A and B are shown apart, each in its own frame.
Chain A
Amino acid sequence: MKVLVPVKRVLDYNIKARPKADGSGVELSGLKMSMNPFDEIAMEAAIRLKEAGQVSEIIAISCGTQACQETLRTALALGADRAVLVETDEALQPLAVAKLLKVLVLREQPRLVICGKQAIDDDANQTGQMLAALLGWAQATFASRIELGTDHASVTREIDGGLETLSITLPAVITTDLRLNEPRYATLPNIMKAKKKPLETLTPADLGVDVTSRLTLLKVAEPPARQGGIKVNDVAELLDKLKNEAKVI
């Protein structure tokens, strides 16, 4: 079975984001960009299913600027068989990405799409669910375990009170949570091999999708700052402060 894995290029998780001086967006120039960590987990899940003989082909997809080629090359080095870039300079909202992915799903006919549960830049947590809805497919979000059958998948999900296991009908969309696996690193020989793997470039217009944003970003700003605190010397002083100054106990 074919699996499709969308991957997003985001500011590396180790870098603290800052607003641009004019508040028009987040400062990204000159900063390290990486594959969204949840998408690395999604790639890893797909690769393990392929290694187990349950998946025949992995197609990585990225929607965004030309620089996303780099993210796709990483996906190819990790184990994707081929890649598709939907290239645009528009700032894409999750709904637009879901529409682009839908057209690619109809073209590629995968039985499974594995997405990260959220991108760590916009923290939206929407794309996988939207894609599933547009396709009329089942979904299993926040997955910490996947068992793939031929017509169904059994997926354990991280929910507020604990864990839930769903049996979902295939084709379906699964989104990954942190505990699903620990992603591998790309090895140097695989990075070299990835350069020869096919990477197709399309545009939203090729796919017949209007990606115009429905949301207007008015401003980006620092959140309200916390007042700095103090260091206390010992437990007695801590208790005194909590009782008499903060009055929380």
Chain B
Amino acid sequence: MTILVVAEHDNQHLKAATRHVLAAAQAIGGEVHLLVAGQHCAAVAEAARALSGVACVLLVENDALESAGAECMADLVLSLVHDYTHLLAAASASGKNWMPRVAALLDVAQLSDIVRVDAPDTFTRPIYAGSVWATVRSEDTIKVITVRATAFEAVAETGGSARLQKVDATSDAGLSRRTHLALNDSSRPELESARVVVSGGRGLGSAERFSALLEPLADKLNAALGASRAAVDSGYVSNDYQVGQTGKIVAPDLYIAVGISGAIQHLAGMKASRVIVAINKDPDAPIFAVADYGLVGDLNQVVPELTSAL
């Protein structure tokens, strides 16, 4: 078995998710190769050689890959994947975008968002917003898989000494072009990999109160900020804060849910956190069923009190 993992990076740094996907690859077994594809991303590939358990880093540099459009990425990966038994990437906005194209062009099924490796051909994945887990066996010759990063402990950043192989590959279908990119620059830790997440819901009532109450708390805890769908839809924060079935999946050491009722779609994104705290004025809110520590009260009082006591 030889496994190809596709790295997630921003042409400068490897994203943490990659090390979790490598852990899933190692749970499958066999030799693991890592593809770093991008624009001027040699430094990323060089750093990736040290990752624990990687035998070979494949580097593809191509200007068309700067924005890693799905058509481009899929064509590139397709041209490299034929000698492998498994193809893995993170179930991130990026992996979800291009991976199904590869599966379709290989004429194989894709296993999305796996949380467990049961055998090299058998995997478990959450369905129905994580209310149930399905264990599925694939008969395909190449297993195409996206991995839920939070379900696998990251491999070590050091200790490896992978060989580096440059690959020439051009791909530009010319079908799509990025015309604008609006990234929210934040000095906070990345939501998916933060140790502490402070998340707000509709109970915050407005964008002003969301930031006035939750930012100081997050500052004290060096936490990332998250939100429920209702908070995003109401415009308190932008879309990339959404935690849940159809947003981001997080599993920090500490998740503090403020003014969030705990709909299944929200729980789907944070239920695997180590410790969950819920602050809600409704003692019957479903969020309390998954909270280790629940505090019934008005968030307008409780949150400032908590912040100043820290």
- Interface residues of chain A, those whose CB is within 8 Å of chain B, are 11, 13, 16-19, 26, 38, 93-95, 98, 117-118, 120-127, 129-134, 137-142, 144, 154, 156, 158-169, 172, 177-179, 213-223, 226-232, 234-236, 238-239, 241-242, 246, 248-249
Contact = CB atoms under 8 A, between A and B. Distances in A.
A17 B94 CA distance: 28
Interface stretch (B53-61, B136-144, B203-211): B136-144
Contact of A222 (B94, B133, B174, B238): B133
A158 B93 contact: yes
Interface in B139-161: 139-140
A238 B277 CA distance: 9
B127 A94 contact: no
B122 A218 contact: yes
Given A94-B109, A160-B93, 7 more contacts: A121-B127, A133-B102, A163-B181, A214-B139, A234-B295, A235-B306, A246-B292
B72 to A, nearest CB: 11
Contact of A120 (B129, B290, B305, B309): B129
Nearest to B308: A235
Interface of B: 67, 69-71, 74, 92-94, 96-105, 107-113, 122, 126-140, 173-184, 192, 196, 221, 229, 232-233, 238-240, 245-246, 248, 253-254, 264-265, 271, 274-277, 283, 288-296, 302, 305-306, 309-310
Contact of B128 (A17, A94, A168, A229): A17
Given A18-B132, A226-B290, A141 B240 contact: no
B294 A232 contact: yes
Given A17-B132, A229-B292, A246-B292, A179 B232 contact: yes
A232 B128 CA distance: 32
> What 5 pairs between A and B have smallest CB-CB spacing?
A17-B128, A138-B175, A129-B100, A130-B104, A133-B101
Nearest to B239: A158
A169 B293 contact: no
A213 B180 CA distance: 40
B109 A142 contact: no
B131 A17 contact: yes
Contacts of A18: 131-132
Given A26-B132, A241-B293, A248-B275, A160 B253 contact: no
A223 B275 CA distance: 17
A228 B288 CA distance: 9
B182 A214 contact: no
A165 B179 contact: yes
8 contacts: A26-B128, A123-B129, A127-B100, A166-B178, A214-B140, A218-B122, A218-B136, A231-B294
Given A95-B109, A178-B229, A249-B310, A121 B128 contact: yes
Contacts of A163: 180-182, 238-239
The interface centre, meaning the residue of B175, B181, B183, B245 with most chain A CB atoms within 10 A of its CB, is B175
Given A167-B179, A214-B109, A235 B293 contact: no
B112 A229 contact: no
A161 B184 contact: yes
Contact of A142 (B93, B175, B233): B93
B221 A249 contact: yes
B128 to A, nearest CB: 4
Given A165-B179, A242-B275, A232 B94 contact: no
Contacts of A216: 136-137, 139
Contacts of B245: 120, 123
A210 to B, nearest CB: 11
Nearest to A170: B175
Contacts of B174: 169
A120 B111 CA distance: 15
Nearest to A98: B104
A2 B271 CA distance: 42
